[in-house]
Structure 1
């Protein structure tokens, strides 16, 4: 490791983390893979947000760590060793408590890693506590209660019941058959609102957009060939009625309009839900069926207006095209995009090197509107399920927050890709 560090100007972050992790030994084995490296979820749920904290420590954020910061990163991880060892021990106890309670749903790492880190800081290592088993059992019970009675397993059982399938298929067919004709587009006020929302959102103009159903009118174009596909909302030529579905995986979710009813609700169930905000499963499924047939496949007019605003705010943000901003919001997002060094780095790659970046990721980076609208739709869909309202005052936080989230996700995916390449080298 020392020789490899001395040979270059920087060190792959993954290699450096793995080297420091190995020095922690068997105490962190429950958080490690079979090769002795930290699990991907260990990095995602523990090391990045709670130990290295790259948002607060930008020197730890890149795929490559400068020589000046190598020792600092290693020392940070080693200093966290006792807390991580205690976290691993608590994780083992919580898994045993989970088995005793007969709980099978949910990934234990997703559910318990961060709570175990909290227990480690609150109580220290569990082996020194006479009531550690009771604390572990209570923690598992609390986490289960926080997830509520409406679970993915119950959703799947409901949606695969033969009698329910027949009823739900009829509701779905009727919902799509009864879709109304698109309204005539009212006077446009989207650009005027986008000019105000980053700094001084105009509540009166927002109300006008909602009252005149501008979002609904702007959704009419989605039924034209290739429009929704060009926005990244479907892989089909035009939106089609969704399937009911009987399975879902968060890793393989299709574009929003192509998701089954099961997949739409599954994506929301795996997010952080508050128990009191969730309805009963039958009403949620029927509501989702009707939502799928609505403009923008969203139920509330403020959500539809938000999609139209997001479409215009993200329009023209393309590395290959030098466009003039159409609004203040559009200018803000363009400026944020142009500051991202990874975007320029991907563009500068010579042809032989560019093969290392998957074509789908490269396309997202160079034309950011598609992933942006997909994530904006998912955010609005989740808000509707939780009963949250979208207002003029929250609009810019939503538009800008989704954009930052997309850029951070692209940056992280590219960083992990380069780390793997560095490890192979």
Structure 2
């Protein structure tokens, strides 16, 4: 089916490319095209990498995009044939080992592709290799996964190749298609409206990635409202994240190491839903190079919305002048909390917050926006890893409101603990 300007259905483009690859019947549907799960588990994330090439994931493709998609699939034909052969071995060994966790295609399609990548077509020892891979996958807890990740990144040749690839990804994404000022205007418009039409316009605008990529250019912090104080990066432009960093505890969200990001993925995904370590690292390289370090554009836009709202989230100061109605609502939600009212009185000098000055507690209260963004980014990274997207404006509003609430509850707990621990001293000075 053709659309305007010669556009073609993506499914038809994939089916035509797939028809030219013999030996992939176990990955194919009755009509000869790729199975839906083949597209979801192999073609999109591993062959085409739609997280890094979102233009190739659209339902309708222009001729140039259709040609690029076809070329990527056809070029990977030998590995796809090997993947099909490995899947047959994995399915047989899974049955022999009496493994029932997860759907066989969901679990074994990515693993088959990983074996095809590392070993090529199956050889005489394929049954033993497949059984070992299944045991490793299904017996792999977070601790074992972290150990393998550390060993993988410690290999100098692997690290050099990954660093080069990350630099290339980073350079490829330095030219946003939307000016930062236009992105901020779209985000402000949605914050004032919060309707589904406004969300659809924002979601399709690439505003999130545009604003994130703007931070990588010299002086980019000036294009993002309040960014120098939001803990997004160390300097005036986002630096390329390292593969690893010693004693990594800094809050800079956009410069977290690849290892730290993958460790988070290991915590979020059960063993039978993960690919191999090298697949997780490859995914994170592409994700780290996208705007705000989030591969799915809609999620980058959700974070950009948080960045635009964050400077107004100042519950100790009663909000910021000129803030959107949504930002004022969020600030009021926190400002009504008893612990915030207590803190405001303490900072006004009318009552002690604690019997002794507690700079860390006061700093946490003043840096509410930074803590909100940290929690929002972690939540969105989890969505990105699992491929989850907000269904509409209501989901986005609930997401942001929920993160503000959880940030407030966390700070309330800190204040309560400090007050309870020092109650005798407080009574003495009251």
Using the size of structure 2 for normalisation, the TM-score is 0.57
2:308 is aligned with 1:308: no
Give the distance between the partners of 2:272 and 2:198, measured in 1 at CA. 33
Say whether the 8 Å CA contact 2:142–2:266 is kept in structure 1. Answer: no
Aligned mate of 1:208, from 201, 205, 210: 201
Map Cα deviations across residues 204-254 of structure 1 (whole Å, 9 max, x no partner). 3322212221222333542335554322212333211111116667xx353
Map Cα deviations across residues 131-154 of structure 1 (whole Å, 9 max, x no partner). xxxxxxxxxx9xx86957972122
Instruction: Report the counterpart of residue 169 of structure 1 in structure 2.
Output: 163
Map Cα deviations across residues 361-398 of structure 1 (whole Å, 9 max, x no partner). 42331242111112111111111112212332421121
The secondary structure found in structure 2 opposite 1:398 is helix
Aligned mate of 2:211, from 196, 200, 218: 218
The secondary structure found in structure 2 opposite 1:212 is coil
The within-5 A match list for 1:240-319 is 240-245=239-244, 252-270=249-267, 272-318=268-314, 319=316
Instruction: Report the counterpart of residue 236 of structure 1 in structure 2.
Output: 235
The within-5 A match list for 1:8-407 is 147=141, 151-185=145-179, 186=182, 188-197=185-194, 201-202=195-196, 204-223=197-216, 224=219, 226=221, 228-245=227-244, 252-270=249-267, 272-318=268-314, 319-320=316-317, 322-324=319-321, 326-349=323-346, 350=349, 356=356, 358-392=358-392, 393-407=394-408
Deviation at 1:269, TM superposition (A): 2.6
Give the distance between the partners of 2:172 and 2:358, measured in 1 at CA. 41
**Alpha-carbon spacing, 1:348–1:145, altered in 2? closer, same or farther (3 Å):** farther
Give the distance between the partners of 1:383 and 1:248, measured in 2 at CA. 26
**Alpha-carbon spacing, 1:157–1:357, altered in 2? closer, same or farther (3 Å):** farther
Deviation at 1:305, TM superposition (A): 1.1
Give the distance between the partners of 2:357 and 2:252, measured in 1 at CA. 21
**Alpha-carbon spacing, 1:322–1:388, altered in 2? closer, same or farther (3 Å):** closer
Say whether the 8 Å CA contact 1:169–1:244 is kept in structure 2. Answer: yes
Say whether the 8 Å CA contact 1:150–1:281 is kept in structure 2. Answer: no
Map Cα deviations across residues 330-387 of structure 1 (whole Å, 9 max, x no partner). 2320221111121222232249766846434423312421111121111111111122
Say whether the 8 Å CA contact 2:390–2:396 is kept in structure 1. Answer: yes
Give the distance between the partners of 1:277 and 1:389, measured in 2 at CA. 18
Map Cα deviations across residues 258-290 of structure 1 (whole Å, 9 max, x no partner). 3211112223433x4333443322122122122
Instruction: Report the counterpart of residue 409 of structure 1 in structure 2.
Output: 410
Say whether the 8 Å CA contact 2:354–2:422 is kept in structure 1. Answer: no
Say whether the 8 Å CA contact 1:231–1:369 is kept in structure 2. Answer: yes
Give the distance between the partners of 2:397 and 2:363, measured in 1 at CA. 26
Q: How many corresponding residue pairs?
A: 276
**Alpha-carbon spacing, 1:408–1:183, altered in 2? closer, same or farther (3 Å):** same
Unmatched 5+ stretches in structure 1: 1-140
Instruction: Report the counterpart of residue 43 of structure 2 in structure 1.
Output: none
Give the distance between the partners of 1:205 and 1:291, measured in 2 at CA. 26
Give the distance between the partners of 2:245 and 2:214, measured in 1 at CA. 31
C-alpha RMSD of the superposition: 3.1
The secondary structure found in structure 2 opposite 1:315 is helix
Instruction: Report the counterpart of residue 23 of structure 1 in structure 2.
Output: none
**Alpha-carbon spacing, 1:189–1:243, altered in 2? closer, same or farther (3 Å):** closer
